[in-house]
Chains A and B, each alone.
Chain A
Amino acid sequence: MSSFQRGQCIQGKWESISRRDFFGVAAAWSAATSMGLALIGLVKFPIPALFPDIARLFKIGKPGDYPVGTEKIFEEKKVVVIRDQEGLYAISLTCTHLGCVVSRQANRFDCPCHGSKFDSIGRVLSGPAPKALPWLKVFQLPDGKLVVNAARSVPTGTKFVVT
C-alpha cells in the first residue's frame, strides 16, 4: 500500500522492517505512550488530598454526662451515643445501603429511603442494606473528655468501659 509498512510474520518467518520504518513506528508508539502516561498522571489531580467538609473526630463531653440509660443523637455527625450497664458506645446513623440517615424507632433503626430496618444494636433485620450499621471508636482524652472517631469502626459489641 505505501512505503510505511511494518514487519510482518509470514509463515513463521519475520519479514524484516526497514530502519526508517522501525524508527517511524517507534516514534509513533513513544508519542502514544508518553501521552497515555501523562493522562494517567492528570487523572490523579481530581482525587482530593484531604476532605475539608466535616470533622470526623469530635468530642462528646465527659463520662458524667452519660448516666446509664442515656441515649444522645448527634444530628450533624449522624451518630448516636448510647450508655448502658457495660459501657458506652457509638453507632453510625448512616444507612449502609445508600447513605440516607436512619431514624430511631422504639427498638429499631428504620431507613426512609428503601425501607432497610436494623435492630437496636445495628444489625440488619430486613431491606436492601448489605451490612450492619458500623460501631464507631470511642476513646478518652487525658483531660477526661470522650471522643468519637467516626472514621474508625470497631466490631459490633465493642463498648468503651467507663472507669
Chain B
Amino acid sequence: MSFRDFLHNLASLPKTFRDSFVRHGRPTTDRTRSQMVMSNVFLHIHSTRIHRYTLRKTFTFGLGIIAAASFFILLVTGVLLMIYYKPSVALAYDSIKDIQFIAPGGRLIRNIHRWATNVMIVSVLFHMARVFYTAAYKETRSFNWLIGIVLFVLTLGLSFTGYLLPWDQLAYWAITIGSNIAASPRELTDLLGITPYFDPGGLMKTLILGSEEIGQEALIRFFWLHCMVLPLALVLFLSAHFWRVRKDGGLSRPDNISPEELEGIEQDEDANSAFDKAPQKTYGLMCLVRGTSPAVGRGPQDTVPSWPTLFVAETALFMLTLAIVCILAYFFNAPLKEIANAAVPENPAKAPWYFLGLQELVSYSAFMGGVGIPSITLLGLALIPYLDREKQSLGHWFDNSQGRYVATASLVYATCVTVAMLVFTVKFGWLRNWFPHISQLVILLINPGTVLVALFAFWSLRYMIKFDSTRIAAIGLFTCFIVSFVILTYFATIHRGPNWGFYWMPSQWPVH
C-alpha cells in the first residue's frame, strides 16, 4: 500500500510542490490574483489593486522603478566584485587590474557596476523632479518625500565612497578634495580664530579618513561604508519608501481624471460595478479604530489587479535598465588611471561628473561651495512639503498652464543668470583678483555661488508675492536650482581643464 502511495507521491511531486508553494492555485481569477500578491512576502509590498492612472507611462516614466532596478544590479555586481577586491593600500589597485584584465567576465562586471551607478544617479534625480513637478509630495506623502531625501543622500554617499576604492590617481585626488571639503568649516572657524578650541571641520575629516591623510585607514573606512553601512541603510530606507507609497494610498493622482487620460490602459469592468455606493473599508480588525484611512469612501472604480499588469510593467522596466547598462558596459570601460601617488596631483583633479557642479562652486569658496550651499539646498528640499501646503489636485505635470508658464520662465531665467555668471567669472575673475588683500569673510559671503542662490531666492519670492502661491514659488525655486545644477555640471565637465582653467574643449588641454 504505502509503496503505491510512494510511487503516486513521486509522480505528483511537481504538482504537490507547486501547490505547497502557491496554496491558492493559479492566478486566473481576481480572487487568486489578489492572493498572489497578498500571500507573498516580497510582492505584498504592492497593494493588490492599483489605480489605472498609476500605469500611465507619461506620469511616472517608470523612474522610481528604474532607480530601484539599477540599485539591484549594483548589489549583485558589487557582491561579485568583492570576491577579488582587496581593501589594502598595497593590493587594491592590483586587484582592480586583476578584475579588469584577468578574471573571467571581470571587465564586464566592473563596467556594469560603474554604469549602473550613473543610471541610478540620473534616474534618482529625474524621479525626484517628477515627484516634485507632479506635486506628489503633498498631504499624506510629505513624510515619504523626506525618506526620499535620505535615499538621495545615501545614493550620493555610496558613489562617493566607491570612488576611492580603485586607489588610482583619479580616486586619490578626488577624495583628497572631498575630504578637505569636509574640513572646510575651518575656513569659517579660522576667520573667527576659534579653530584650536572648536574644530568641527577637522573632526569630520578625521572621522572620514581615520587619519589626517588618505591612507590605509581611509581606504578601510570607505570600504566599510561602501560595502556594509550604506547599502544596508539604503535597503532599509528603500523598504520604508515602498511601504509608504502603498500606505499613503498608492501613487498620487488627480481628483478628477478625464477618460482620455486613461485611454489605452488596461481596465477591469467588474471594478466599476462592484460597489455602486462607497463601501465600508473592512479588511482587518486593526482597522476598527477611529480616524480616516486614505481610501475610505472610495470604491475600486478604475482600478485593476496588480497581478499581472503592474508586475509585467516592473519586469519590463528592469529588463530595459539591464539592457541599457549592459550595452554601455560592453562598449565603454570604467576608468582606471595610474596607481595613486600622493606626491603628484592629477591635473585637473576632477570628481565624478555628478559632483562637478559642486566642484565648480568649491573653486569659488571651499566652505560655501562644499558645505554651505549643499546644506541649504538639502534643507530646502526637505522642507518643501512642510512649507508648501496648498491644497491642489495632484498628479499632473506642472499642475496647469500657470505652473507650466512659471517653470518655463524660470528655466529661461536660471539659464541666463547662470551662464552670465560663468562668463563673467571666467572673463573678469572675482573679488580677490581686483582686491588682493580682501578679507576671506567677504569672499565667503559674496562669491558667484552665493550670488546665484540669492538671485534664485529673490526670483522665487517675487513669484510668491505676484501669484500669491507657495506652490508657484516652489516651482520657480526648484526649477532654478535644477537648471543651474545641470549647467554648472556641464560647464565643469567640459570646460574646465588643467589648473581649473577655462577651455572650449578637452582636446585643447596642454599636454603634460
User: Chain A residues in contact with chain B, CB under 8 A?
Assistant: 46-48, 51-54, 75-76, 78, 97-101, 110-115, 124-128, 130-131
Contact = CB atoms under 8 A, between A and B. Distances in A.
B349 A112 contact: yes
Nearest to B191: A130
B501 A115 contact: yes
Contact of B362 (A54, A115, A128): A128
Overall SS of chain B's interface? helix
Contact of A127 (B212, B432, B444): B432
B440 A131 contact: yes
Nearest to B290: A1
A111 to B, nearest CB: 8
A48 B217 contact: yes
B432 A76 contact: no
Contacts of A131: 190, 440
30 contacts: A46-B210, A46-B221, A48-B210, A48-B211, A48-B217, A52-B215, A53-B211, A53-B215, A53-B217, A54-B213, A98-B180, A99-B179, A100-B177, A100-B349, A101-B345, A111-B499, A112-B348, A112-B499, A113-B345, A113-B347, A113-B349, A114-B362, A115-B363, A115-B499, A125-B436, A126-B432, A128-B364, A130-B190, A130-B440, A130-B444
Given A76-B342, A100-B349, A113-B499, 18 more contacts: A46-B221, A47-B206, A48-B211, A51-B213, A52-B211, A99-B179, A99-B180, A101-B343, A110-B499, A111-B499, A113-B173, A113-B347, A114-B362, A124-B436, A125-B436, A128-B363, A128-B364, A128-B443
A48 B206 contact: yes
A125 to B, nearest CB: 7
B345 A112 contact: yes
Contacts of B221: 46
B444 to A, nearest CB: 8
B176 interface: yes
Interface string B407-447: 00000000000000000000001001100100010011000
Contacts of A110: 499
Contacts of B347: 112-113
B96 interface: no
Report which residue of A47, A75, A101, A125 has the largest number of chain B beta carbons within 10 angstroms of its beta carbon.
A101
B78 interface: no
Report which residue of A51, A54, A126 has the largest number of chain B beta carbons within 10 angstroms of its beta carbon.
A51
Nearest to A99: B180
A161 B432 CA distance: 34
A56 B53 CA distance: 64
B213 A53 contact: yes
Contacts of A78: 343
B181 interface: yes
Contacts of B498: 112
B365 interface: yes
Interface string B172-213: 010011011100100100100000000000010011001111
A75 B173 contact: no
B177 A99 contact: yes
B443 to A, nearest CB: 8
A98 B342 contact: no
Contact of B343 (A52, A76, A112, A128): A76
Contacts of B212: 51, 53-54
A130 B187 contact: yes
A101 B345 CA distance: 6
B120 interface: no
A96 B177 CA distance: 11
B363 A114 contact: yes
A117 to B, nearest CB: 9
A98 B362 contact: yes
A141 B186 CA distance: 33
B366 interface: yes
B370 to A, nearest CB: 8
A118 to B, nearest CB: 12
Contacts of A47: 203, 206-207
B211 A115 contact: no
Contacts of A130: 187, 190, 365-366, 440, 443-444
Contact of A53 (B187, B216, B366, B433): B216
Contacts of A75: 343
B500 interface: yes
A19 to B, nearest CB: 29
Contacts of B343: 75-76, 78, 101
B344 interface: yes
Contacts of B217: 48, 52-53
Nearest to B184: A98
A128 B448 CA distance: 12
Contacts of B184: 98
A115 B187 contact: no
Contacts of A128: 362-366, 443
Contacts of A98: 176-177, 180-181, 184, 362, 366
